[in-house]
Chain A
Amino acid sequence: DAMVIQNPRYQVTQFGKPVTLSCSQTLNHNVMYWYQQKSSQAPKLLFHYYDKDFNNEADTPDNFQSRRPNTSFCFLDIRSPGLGDAAMYLCATSSGTGNSPLHFGNGTRLTVT
């Protein structure tokens, strides 16, 4: 089945220690998104790629970076995680048309110690 896969499912990192979360898709979608979701809150968009075109949200901290080396893979790099960065990180894809739904991965739950 075509899908969006995130690894790992759970990630523990230390305060200030860089961490990378990964996402892959077999849907061949043009657009890949990273959302941050904290407990009992809505998913908050960090950034997205339309093909190789990177689109950062104005309020996304510089601490968060992303890479998309090819259509299938997208990475979220957190350069110096703080305690406030503990959250569920959701990767999603879409074909990019106005009404195309988002397909989400199961997320990576990040714990910062």
Chain B
Amino acid sequence: GQSLEQPSEVTAVEGAIVQINCTYQTSGFYGLSWYQQHDGGAPTFLSYNALDGLEETGRFSSFLSRSDSYGYLLLQELQMKDSASYFCAVTPAGRRALTFGSGTRLQVQP
């Protein structure tokens, strides 16, 4: 089976940097994805790590270490609009559907 664990809540201030961790137990997967979801909205794709290492997309970066069963999403220069829930997700090997982590609610304060 698959299990992805995230902190339930993180609070940070505008302009700061925050890291949201994702630890997983899964027998095999294609890559680690991150999705953002604002209250009442749909999840939207942020980033994908197929290989170990860092992927950077603007203010957001994502990291994967398969040997450590660990990944994280790094958000820089936080803005109020970044307040949302963030989900890590994997597509288990042999499947086409994403399994989502428990989600982290990020609150950005002035």
Contact of A99 among B31, B42, B100 (CB under 8 A): B31
Taking residues whose C-beta sits less than 8 angstroms from the other chain, chain A's interface range is 20 to 34
Chain A residues with Cβ below 8 Å from B96 are 31, 48, 50, 55, 94, 96
Whether B71 sits at the interface, judged by CB under 8 Å, is no
Q: What's the Cα separation between A94 and B43 when bound, in Å?
A: 13
Whether A98 sits at the interface, judged by CB under 8 Å, is yes
Q: What are 14 A-B pairs with beta-carbon distances under 8 A? A: A40-B103, A43-B43, A43-B100, A44-B100, A45-B97, A45-B98, A55-B97, A90-B43, A96-B96, A98-B31, A99-B91, A102-B35, A103-B45, A107-B41
Chain B residues with Cβ below 8 Å from A98 are 30-31, 91
B11–chain A nearest beta-carbon distance, Å: 16
A3–chain B nearest beta-carbon distance, Å: 11
Chain A residues with Cβ below 8 Å from B35 are 102
A64–chain B nearest beta-carbon distance, Å: 15
Chain A residues with Cβ below 8 Å from B91 are 98-99
Whether A70 sits at the interface, judged by CB under 8 Å, is no
Whether B79 sits at the interface, judged by CB under 8 Å, is no
User: Which residues of B line the A interface, CB within 8 A?
Assistant: 30-31, 33, 35, 41-45, 48, 50, 87, 91, 96-103, 105
Q: What's the Cα separation between A44 and B87 when bound, in Å?
A: 12
User: A42 and B30 in contact (CB under 8 A), knowing A50-B96, A94-B96, A98-B91?
Assistant: no
Q: Which of A33, A98, A105 has the most CB of B within 10 A?
A: A98
Q: What's the Cα separation between A42 and B96 when bound, in Å?
A: 18
User: A42 and B100 in contact (CB under 8 A), knowing A90-B43, A99-B30, A105-B42?
Assistant: yes
Chain A residues with Cβ below 8 Å from B50 are 99
Whether A42 lies near B97 (C-beta < 8 A) is no
Whether B103 lies near A41 (C-beta < 8 A) is yes
Contact of B101 among A42, A94, A104 (CB under 8 A): A42
B1–chain A nearest beta-carbon distance, Å: 11
A105–chain B nearest beta-carbon distance, Å: 6
